[in-house]
Amino acid sequence: MSESPREAPGAGEQAALDALNALPGAAARQRLLACCSSARWADEMAGGRPYASAEELLARSDRAVAGLARADLEQALAGHPRIGRSAGPAGGWSRREQAGVQTADTATVAALAEGNEAYEQRFGHIYLVRASGRDGAELLALLRERLGNDPAIEWEVVRRELGQINRIRLRRLLADGVGPATSAITTHVLDTARGVPAAGVTVRLDRVSPANPGEAPGDKTQEIGRARTDADGRVRVIGPAKLPAGTYRLTFGTGDYLAVSYAPSPHGQDPAGQPVAAFFPEVAVTFVIDGETPHYHVPLLLSPFGYSTYRGS
């Protein structure tokens, strides 16, 4: 999908992506709803985590927008103000996006207001257009051109514009940052058989015991966050910057990593220096935190036939 103009990724983009991956489901959904008020889109995006790259995040958004029903599109429109007006739930976004309108002359602003009225009478919803990088005159010309569309065609134009807007907003979300620079719990995975960081390993953090002695025990495992190891094998953000005392578990998706990294011999014998495929489909490390120590680092040293862990710093 075309995205114009594209903002260059900031230096903290990967950290912001890691933070988005690590947020609890409800918190991630709220952050995403700030970009697009379609509940279905936000659910699709939150459910697609963890994302390995910004490109993967944007591609998921494209697919989610393509799958929105008419009611979902109407819900998305409800989060956008009229062109020329920056009020509403997405006002902060819109003020930046409609910068070109804010400098338009009085005649153009008046014509846009009149055009908005005509558009809404014809189609029954607001005029949605990617305003970033466009001035008032261009937005007015596009509005007048679209007034000639068939309603069914216009809904597809709305879908296209929404997809472009969502891409720009997701880029800005990553540029602005979405969470703490470092979470209370961090990890890294080292592939000891090859002597390299294990990149791309999925990691899930769960709370598996009550934080307070008075809380009832039981199988109330609570997911705290998800992430994926970066090129250095590290996860810097997988949850909030502070966690209450309790027992927690890091679950590493080692099976996929080992299956890709180590191919078994077709004859059942290992070629020299090449171990067979994964023996451990996952590794779970359970540990206790006291609620006072600000940071716990729990690394994993991994090979196809063994692993170890320790409390690091």
Nearest to 204 by CA among 238, 232, 178, 234: 238
**102-130 exposure pattern, b = at least 16 Cβ within 10 A, e = fewer:** eebeeebbebbeebbeebeeebebbbbbb
pLDDT at 295 over 60: yes
| Structure confidence by residue, pLDDT tens digits, 255-274 | 988 888 776 555 544 444 45
Residue range 231-251: mean pLDDT, rounded: 87
| Structure confidence by residue, pLDDT tens digits, 83-120 | 876 544 344 567 678 877 877 889 998 999 999 999 99
Asked if 140 contacts 111 with a C-beta cutoff of 8 angstroms, the reply is yes
pLDDT bin (cut points 50, 70, 90) of residue 10 is very low
**77-96 exposure pattern, b = at least 16 Cβ within 10 A, e = fewer:** bebbbbbbbbeeebeebbee
Phi first, then psi, for residue 225 (nearest 5°) are -175, 165
Three-state secondary structure call for residue 245:
coil
Residue range 139-160: mean pLDDT, rounded: 96
Residue range 292-312: mean pLDDT, rounded: 91
